[in-house]
Amino acid sequence: MDSGAVEPASTGAIWSTPSVEPRSISIGKQIFCNRSLNMRNITAVGFDMDYTLAQYKPETFEALAYHGTIEKLVKDLNYPEELLTWQFDWKYMVRGLVLDKKRGNILKMDRHKYVKVAYHGFREMSKEEKVAAYGSTLIRDSFDEPDYALIDTLFSLGEAYLFAQLVDFMDSNPAKVPSGTDYAHMYRDVRSAVDLCHRDGTLKRMVAKEPSRYINEDLAIVPMLQMLRKSGRSTFLVTNSLWDYTDVVMNYLCGPYMSDVSSSHNHKWLEYFDVVITGSSKPSFFHDDNRTGLFEVEPDSGKLLNADLQIGSPRSSQHQPKPIHKVYQGGNVGHLHRLLSVASSSQILYVGDHIYGDILRSKKVLVGGLCW
Ligand SMILES: Nc1nc2c(ncn2[C@@H]2O[C@H](COP(=O)(O)O)[C@@H](O)[C@H]2O)c(=O)[nH]1
Ligand SMILES: [Mg+2]
């Protein structure tokens, strides 16, 4: 990093728990479990797309988000041009960390919310500093929004790293940041610049041009979907990404199994799913009180048609055949039930990468019945 920001002391291992013994099974084959599930009750299995079916390569994808964010900070929010020379170490941050926006700190806590490790920017805080900021074992903060941000998705690794760099940069160059800026203000700027990168096509345009550069190929996806369908279960996709991007990513992931890979618009991957819902606005999609309208997406043109009437009311739906169209935008869990002809969320297994972003209303409220 060629800037006023302090070079991180070391990477990766800081936040990780050292393993007691070397693991002989690769991480991709290990199964972690916190509840039991009888698959006999499951009639439909659904997937999130980004970071679930589509495993992005952090060294390219998160780096793209990191550099796109810096460009926006410099061009739109008056941060100094020297930020453009900063580098991203994609191995440094890990999920589970918490950002203290006001103090400019990055925290690792245990499950009792005791702060075990704390860094101010990239400098490790002493025990005394930690106790002064976060109290002793008896008094604990809740470490929730709005003062704290949980790094709970792989999408946030770049913004956490950039926040730490900016904290160091501001400490050593207070005159170089826009006047009136404090740590929390910098966090807000980073967050809104990241958000814009996701919304304005900065990331998605680049991924669409060259998916193999940003997404890991996974030859196990199609056989897994085929196996589920052969077992008599329905399969579905519910993603917050919109149709055009979903089509690019899924074409790439299912591509090696398609006969006509030369056409990026054959939509053949749709044959592995009964229902595809894009632009789903999870987690509210899964909340019973969500009344968002459902649109049908015309795959070739991307045109939206009102779909609510075509799939019928909940009462009449049991007697209606499943609709032949399968790509939708918006809607809610009630629409999903009708499209899949399932009576209850307890028959649905949904596989996602982000429990708060995918199904939880808050840290405390789980969507009724859904297996995750
Ligand atoms: N507007 C924002 N979009 C974001 C952000 N972080 C991720 N994303 C987008 O969400 C979906 C996730 O899709 P899913 O398949 O996991 O449901 C994807 O399109 C991301 O680009 C953000 O900070 N702001
Ligand atoms: Mg996801």
| Model pLDDT for residues 83-141, shown as the tens digit of each residue | 999 999 999 999 999 999 999 999 999 888 889 999 999 999 999 999 999 986 565 67
pLDDT-above-70 percentage for the chain: 83
Please name which of 351, 326, 330, 355 lies closest in space to residue 339, comparing C-alpha atoms: 326
Residue 369's pLDDT is 63
CA atoms within a 13 Å half-sphere pointing along the CA-CB vector of 47: 19
Q: In 3-state terms, what secondary structure has residue 62? A: helix
Token pair listed for 31: 């199964």
Task: Report the pLDDT value the prediction gives residue 187, as an integer from 0 to 100.
Answer: 98
| Residue to mutate (ligand 1; options 99, 197, 241, 242; most atoms within 8 A of CB) | 241
Q: Tell me the C-alpha distance between 47 and 269, whole Å.
A: 14
Going from the Cα of 339 to the center of ligand 1, the distance in angstroms, rounded, reads 24
User: Can you give the pTM of this predicted structure?
Assistant: 0.86
Which of 48, 152, 198, 246, when mutated, tests ligand 1's pocket best, judged by the most ligand atoms within 8 Å of its CB? 198
For residue 206, give the ligand nearest its CA.
1
DSSP, collapsed to helix, strand or coil, labels residue 204 as: helix
Residue 316 has pLDDT above 50, yes or no: no
pLDDT of 367 reads 56
Which of 40-54, 108-122, 250-264, 355-369 is the least confident region? 355-369
Share of the chain above pLDDT 90, in %: 67
| CA 236 to ligand 2 centroid distance, Å | 14
Average pLDDT over residues 239-261: 88
The DSSP code for 12 is S
The residue among 310, 333, 366 whose CA lies nearest residue 35 is 366
User: pLDDT band at 186, cuts 50/70/90?
Assistant: very high
Q: State the distance from the centre of ligand 1 to the C-alpha of 140, rounded, in angstroms.
A: 32
pLDDT in the model for residue 260: 58
Mean pLDDT of 197-217: 96
- Torsion of Cα atoms, 119 then 125 then 131 then 135, to 10°: -10
**Active site (annotated) includes residue 110:** no
Find where tokens 């008056």 sit.
78
Beta bridge partners, 297, equal: 304
Separation CA 154–CA 147 (nearest Å): 21
- 48 is known as an active-site residue: yes
What's the pLDDT score for residue 311? Answer: 60
Position 4 scores a pLDDT of 45
Residue 320 has pLDDT above 70, yes or no: no
The answer to whether 89 and 257 have CB atoms below 8 angstroms apart is no
Cα 191 to middle of ligand 2, angstroms: 18
pLDDT of residue 289: 86
pLDDT, tens only, 14-47: 666 556 566 677 877 777 777 788 899 999 999 9
Annotated binding site: 48, 50, 353
ipTM reported for the complex surpasses 0.90? yes
What span, in angstroms and rounded, lies between the C-alpha atoms of 46 and 87?
Answer: 37
Kindly list the strands in the beta sheet with 304-306, ordered across the sheet, starting from the edge strand earlier in the chain.
304-306, 294-297, 327-330, 275-278, 234-238, 44-47, 348-351
Nearest atom within ligand 1 for CA of residue 245 = 19
Which pLDDT score, from 0 to 100, does residue 2 have? 42
Instruction: List all residues whose CB is within 6 A of at least one atom of ligand 1.
Output: 48-51, 155, 194-195, 198-199, 239-241, 282
**Do 333 and 290 form a contact (C-beta atoms < 8 A)?**
yes
CB 275 within 8 A of CB 234: yes
* Pairing assessment for the beta strands 105-109 and 115-120 based on DSSP bridges: antiparallel
Which H/E stretch holds residue 355?
A: helix 355-358
Non-local (6+) Cβ contacts of 56 within 8 A are 50, 62, 154, 214, 215, 216
Most confident of 142-146, 313-317, 349-353, 355-359: 349-353
**Could you give the CA distance from residue 177 to residue 184 in angstroms, rounded to a whole number?**
13
Beta strands in the chain (DSSP E): 44-47, 98-100, 105-109, 115-120, 123-124, 148-150, 234-238, 275-278, 294-297, 304-306, 327-330, 348-351
